[in-house]
């Protein structure tokens, strides 16, 4: 297997390339510009939110603390009336591009590190390109949720909670797949001899 230390240059290069590609996508091609829409009464919504003075966090409207509360007539009425929304509020103040770009590059560097970690433990030297792409591409796709949350402004504790949530999902999936393909007789059972061979 390739050691993780031997992959430090690909880790940095991949992070730089992803950063440049994302800059081209968002600043030149701009096909994500239509991902968000403007509220017709934006100033009124802003004023209404400021009256409650909420801190930076993720909010949901309407909010209910328990499943039982969701079944209450009052909550059903709120859902019927609308609006239904999830809001990610940041701290007030000018959002400079510099700190956000730095934060995004650090995030791409962390993602590259974990993809390289998987490569170091699963992909032997000399593996065909398409096989490497299949394995590591799937890992990169699995991280897309974290990327989406990060772009939504969730860079704090909530982002790491999403990452932690993925651990048992990956563990249970791996266990089930391993059970499905392991030889009959148990995990450590010797391989069955092919007929006609010694």
Confidence at residue 181, expressed as pLDDT on a 0 to 100 scale: 45
Domains in the chain, number: 1
Structure tokens at 60: 């949901």
Q: How many CA atoms lie within 13 A of 159 on its CB side?
A: 15
Evaluate whether residue 193 is within a structural domain: no
Evaluate whether residue 48 is within a structural domain: no
Evaluate whether residue 76 is within a structural domain: yes
Confidence at residue 52, expressed as pLDDT on a 0 to 100 scale: 92
pLDDT band at 93 (very low <50, low <70, confident <90, very high): confident
Evaluate whether residue 85 is within a structural domain: yes
Average pLDDT over residues 174-186: 49
Residue 25: partners with Cβ closer than 8 Å, 6 or more residues away: 31, 32
Confidence at residue 152, expressed as pLDDT on a 0 to 100 scale: 59
**Which domain does 80 fall in, by range?**
57-90
Confidence at residue 177, expressed as pLDDT on a 0 to 100 scale: 46
Question: Is the model's pLDDT at 128 over the cut of 70?
Answer: yes
Window from 30-39, 70-79, 147-156 with minimum mean pLDDT: 147-156
Confidence at residue 144, expressed as pLDDT on a 0 to 100 scale: 58
Average pLDDT over residues 178-190: 50
pLDDT band at 79 (very low <50, low <70, confident <90, very high): very high
Evaluate whether residue 39 is within a structural domain: no
Confidence at residue 127, expressed as pLDDT on a 0 to 100 scale: 81
Evaluate whether residue 69 is within a structural domain: yes
Confidence at residue 82, expressed as pLDDT on a 0 to 100 scale: 92
Q: Which of 50-64, 90-104, 144-158 has the highest mean pLDDT?
A: 50-64
One DSSP character per residue, the chain reads: ---GGGGHHHHHHHHHHHHHHHHHIIIII-TTGGGS---TTHHHHHHHHHHH-PPSEEEEES--SSHHHHTSHHHHHHHHH---EEEEEPPSS---HHHHHHHHHHHHHHHHHHHHHHHHHH--TT--HHHHHHHHHHHHHHTHHHHHHHHTT--SHHHHHHHHHHHHHHHHHHHHHHHHHSPTT-TTPPPPPPTT--
Evaluate whether residue 28 is within a structural domain: no
Evaluate whether residue 46 is within a structural domain: no
């Amino acid at each position: 297997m390739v050691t993780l230390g031997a992959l430090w240059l690909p880790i940095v290069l991949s992070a730089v390339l992803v950063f440049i590609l994302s800059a081209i996508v968002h600043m030149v091609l701009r096909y994500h510009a239509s991902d968000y829409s403007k509220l017709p009464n934006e100033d009124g919504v802003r004023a209404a939110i400021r009256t409650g003075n909420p801190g930076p966090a993720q909010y949901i409207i309407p909010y209910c603390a328990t499943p039982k509360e969701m079944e209450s007539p009052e909550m059903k009425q709120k859902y019927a009336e609308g609006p239904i929304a999830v809001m990610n509020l940041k701290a007030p103040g000018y959002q400079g591009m510099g700190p956000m770009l730095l934060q995004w590059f650090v995030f791409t560097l962390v993602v590259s590190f974990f993809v390289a970690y998987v490569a170091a433990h699963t992909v032997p030297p000399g593996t065909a390109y398409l096989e490497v792409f299949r394995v590591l591409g799937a890992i990169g796709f699995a991280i897309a949720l974290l990327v989406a949350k990060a772009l939504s402004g969730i860079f704090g504790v909530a982002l790491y909670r999403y990452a932690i949530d993925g651990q048992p999902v990956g563990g249970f999936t791996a266990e089930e797949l391993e059970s499905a393909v392991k030889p009959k007789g148990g995990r450590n059972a010797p391989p069955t001899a092919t007929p006609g061979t010694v």
